Amino acid sequence: MSEKKMVRDAEKQAPTPQNQSLNGRLLFAIIASAFGSAFQHGYNTGVVNAPQTLIETWIGSVISDRNGGKAADQSQVTLIWAVAVAIFCFGGMIGGLSTGIVADKFGRKGGLLVSNALVVVSAALQGVSKMYSSYELIIIGRFIIGINSGLNAGLTPMYLAEISPMNLRGSVGTVYQLVVTISILISQILGLDYILGTAERWPILLALIIIPGIFMFITLPFCPESPKYTLINKKKDIEAERGLQWLRGTIEVHDEMDEMRAENEAMKVIPRVTLREMLSNPMLKTPLGISVMIMLCQQLSGINAVMFFSTKIFNMAGMSDDGAKYATLGMGTLNVIMTLISLFLVELTGRKTLLMIGFSSMFVITVMLTISLMFVVGNTIVSYLAIVLVMAFVIAFAVGPGSIPWFLVAELFNSAARPLATSIAVGVNWTANFVVGLGFLPLQGLLGSNVFLIFVVLLALFVLYVYKKVPETKNKTLEEIQMLFRQESYK
């Protein structure tokens, strides 16, 4: 073999600056940032389901004690519980819309640590709520942890996108949703009546959020701030290079630093990105529209409705309440497994491909589910088909629509516009989540199983939108992605 050929072969095998493998330090930073943050998002979404009856009974007893032993009105108890559940999403809206301010002022890593202080307050309030006979403490605690979760949903994908090499950006971005699904499953398991789902132990169930909060306080300070934020926002070139070297596990980061410096120089001639600029500049308006629509697609796809309706479907199939409970756990496990698989698929097939597969499959499954629910009563075969369709729906969602929206926003914008764009997109996501949470039950009471026809129409529109408007960002640099929108703005 000639010397020239050996050199060429070595160059082919050597990773490019943007084609890095996962190393121990990068993995540590991913776990430190994602576990402590995404866990709060998922756990506090699912933790209230299992102990609902127990907490409602306690709320009734608190009201009765305050009224001198007079029995509480059930409608009042239901209203208080509904507020306690929904206030989490309302807090998420506020946190999501605050992402840009926090990200710019404290940084991505710094913002996560500041937000994490809210976890301590929330855990304390919810943990002592029964001791002090105050359901108000649960409501305030869930509002505070909602703000934390909204901030996390914006800051963590931003941090993960900025510390990841280009070839791992999608896989690393998927980690946020993976931890969300894992934490939902953990909350369901811990909420079982022989673990923490008891009249005595449910305050512990609500206060356990302190554990991932402590984990973040211990681990994240060892990780560097986002090198892009350090260079572009803080103007600290040497510190940014050291942070990048730490994350890559090598001192050979010159090409990546040159790219960031070029982005920094390009941004000097661009005015500060304001909301007005974001909404008027075609180079920013187009990706913002895509980001907002993808978030709406995720929340209005029917996933929350199917998850809620699943227990009823399992009961229709003849399952006992315990059987339905374990079937729901099985569905949560399936969600985790498929999200883990999507972590590998996203870099093999691409973002747009997985979104198309996911939403198209969900559309077909929802049509079949709507039809099957019309004939499910008294028909064992159809009832079991409905169970299979529910499971298939969860798989289709986890393949792409569940994870991709969280990190796609970070891929579509440069460092100057990313915080504001993330604030808007994440705020829209939590708002849509809040609206679905409030609106589904009344619609379901009015339309019954035909409520899924609404999601059939929406999913058809979402498939069309993704096909026509969403670009593929797999293995594309920021400049290449910006070029796509620059060309679009000239049309």
Pair of tokens at residue 236:
């600290």
- Alpha helix (H) residue ranges in 378-417: 380-399, 404-412
Lowest mean pLDDT among 2-11, 156-165, 384-393: 2-11
Give Rg (Cα) of the chain.
Answer: 24
Whole-number Å distance between alpha carbons of 45 and 177? 13
**What are the DSSP calls for 327-379, one per residue?**
HHHHHHHHHHHHHHHHHHHHHHH-HHHHHHHHHHHHHHHHHHHHHHHHS-TT-
Tell me the average pLDDT across 450-465.
93
Main-chain phi, psi angles of 196, to 5 degrees: -115, 0
Using CB atoms within 10 Å of the CB of residue 169, give its burial: 0 to 12 exposed, 13 to 18 middle, 19+ buried: buried
The per-residue pLDDT for range 106-116, each reduced to its tens digit, is 999 999 999 99
**Residue 10: its pLDDT value, please?**
39
Pair of tokens at residue 50:
């299992």
Tell me the average pLDDT across 304-326.
77
Tell me the average pLDDT across 291-301.
94
Contacts for 23 with CB less than 8 Å, ≥ 6 apart: 248, 249
Whole-number Å distance between alpha carbons of 427 and 433? 10
**pLDDT confidence bin for 217, thresholds 50/70/90:** very high
- For the four alpha carbons of 236, 240, 241 and 242, in that order, the dihedral sign comes to positive
**pLDDT confidence bin for 9, thresholds 50/70/90:** very low
Please name the amino acid found at residue 193: D
Measuring CA to CA, which residue among 112, 151, 145 is closest to residue 126? 145
Measuring CA to CA, which residue among 259, 265, 257 is closest to residue 240? 257
Please name the amino acid found at residue 158: M
Tell me the average pLDDT across 434-444.
81
**148 contacts 115 by C-beta, under 8 angstroms:** yes
**Residue 20: its pLDDT value, please?**
72
Whole-number Å distance between alpha carbons of 422 and 427? 8
**Residue 270: its pLDDT value, please?**
67
| Cβ-defined contacts of 430-434 (< 8 Å, 24+) | 430/89, 430/92, 430/93, 430/95, 430/96, 430/150, 430/153, 431/93, 432/295, 432/296, 432/299, 432/300, 433/89, 433/92, 433/299, 433/304, 434/86, 434/89, 434/90, 434/92, 434/93
Measuring CA to CA, which residue among 130, 106, 129 is closest to residue 116? 106
The per-residue pLDDT for range 241-287, each reduced to its tens digit, is 999 999 999 999 998 999 889 888 877 766 678 888 888 888 888 99
**231 contacts 264 by C-beta, under 8 angstroms:** yes
**107 contacts 418 by C-beta, under 8 angstroms:** no
Whole-number Å distance between alpha carbons of 157 and 154? 6
**Residue 160: its pLDDT value, please?**
95
**Residue 19: its pLDDT value, please?**
62
Measuring CA to CA, which residue among 313, 315, 308 is closest to residue 368? 313
**Residue 21: its pLDDT value, please?**
76
CA 324 to chain centroid, in Å, comes to 26
CA 66 to chain centroid, in Å, comes to 39
DSSP three-state, residue 21: coil
Q: Is it the case that residue 376 has pLDDT exceeding 80?
A: no
**Residue 490: its pLDDT value, please?**
55
**396 contacts 365 by C-beta, under 8 angstroms:** yes
Pair of tokens at residue 397:
């969602």
